[in-house]
Amino acid sequence: MKVVLGKDLLAANENKAAKNRELFDQAGILVVNLISSPGSGKTTLLEKTARFLGGDLKMGAIVGDLYTDRDARRLSEAGMVTVQINTEGVCHLDAKMVARALQEMPMVSLDLLFIENVGNLVCPAAFDLGEHVKVAVLSVAEGTDKPAKYPGIFRESGAVVINKSDLLPYTDFNVKNCLDDLRGIKENMAIFITSAKTGEGIDQWCKWLRESKGNMI
Ligand SMILES: Nc1nc2c(ncn2[C@@H]2O[C@H](COP(=O)(O)OP(=O)(O)OP(=O)(O)O)[C@@H](O)[C@H]2O)c(=O)[nH]1
Ligand SMILES: [Mg+2]
């Protein structure tokens, strides 16, 4: 019985996600769903992205958070148009929540829309929001084994950002082993090694975003 309910829930979500995607395509915006465990650096990465690309691309962010609007305020200060979703304890965003937030988002004026999912490496992978691409963010402080232990999100993602590279000297994170595991899960994904603190690798990440947006046309 539980399995059937789960299937119905996901089928309803898929329908809503398809409608969101239609709206994104009509508006001609690239939509990126950022997923990671709490604190890997999603918001900091977006702050850096806003500053790097803000001169020529107009960006918005729908920010999922359990209770606060702290991340949305940070991204507004960095120059993004933001809409906050508070899930009130729910551990992932779903397509219906995003559809509601879109009513407040001036999509036609945007080039790029980010959806910062609730910090959680498991549940968000199951919920299509209508995005064009999922990006998994993993910080080196979390350990090399995370892709192998939580393969679902990495399999679903078109790109992976390995963040906090400035902390590499202070951790036992093994870049080569992590890359091998990622390639084992999915061969054709873009991988970026960044420090949202120092700015390392942000140029390559932003280049990929710009090219991905360009490829839509
Ligand atoms: N050293 C270092 N710290 C970072 C980096 N990126 C983010 N941080 C720090 O990591 C902490 C969490 O960063 P956030 O950007 O808030 O992480 P998040 O993934 O948005 O967190 P949630 O929204 O709570 O899931 C903050 O103290 C950041 O300053 C980085 O590249 N290097
Ligand atoms: Mg955040």
Where are the domains positioned within the chain?
2-214
- Per CATH, the number for 2-214 is 3.40.50.300
- Nearest ligand 1 atom, CA 37: 25
Give the pLDDT confidence of 46-68 residue by residue, as tens digits: 999 999 999 999 999 999 999 99
- Ligand 1 proximity of 167 Cβ (cutoff 6 Å): yes
pLDDT at 138 over 80: yes
What is the Rg, in whole angstroms, of the alpha carbon atoms belonging to the chain?
A: 17
What pTM was computed for the model? Answer: 0.95
Give the pLDDT confidence of 153-199 residue by residue, as tens digits: 999 999 999 999 999 999 999 999 999 999 999 998 999 999 999 99
Q: Is 214 helix (H, G, I), strand (E, B) or coil?
A: helix
- Ligand 1 proximity of 39 Cβ (cutoff 6 Å): yes
Give the pLDDT confidence of 98-110 residue by residue, as tens digits: 999 999 999 999 9
1 CA to centre of ligand 2 in angstroms = 35
Spatial distance between the Cα atoms of 61 and 80, rounded to a whole number of angstroms? 6
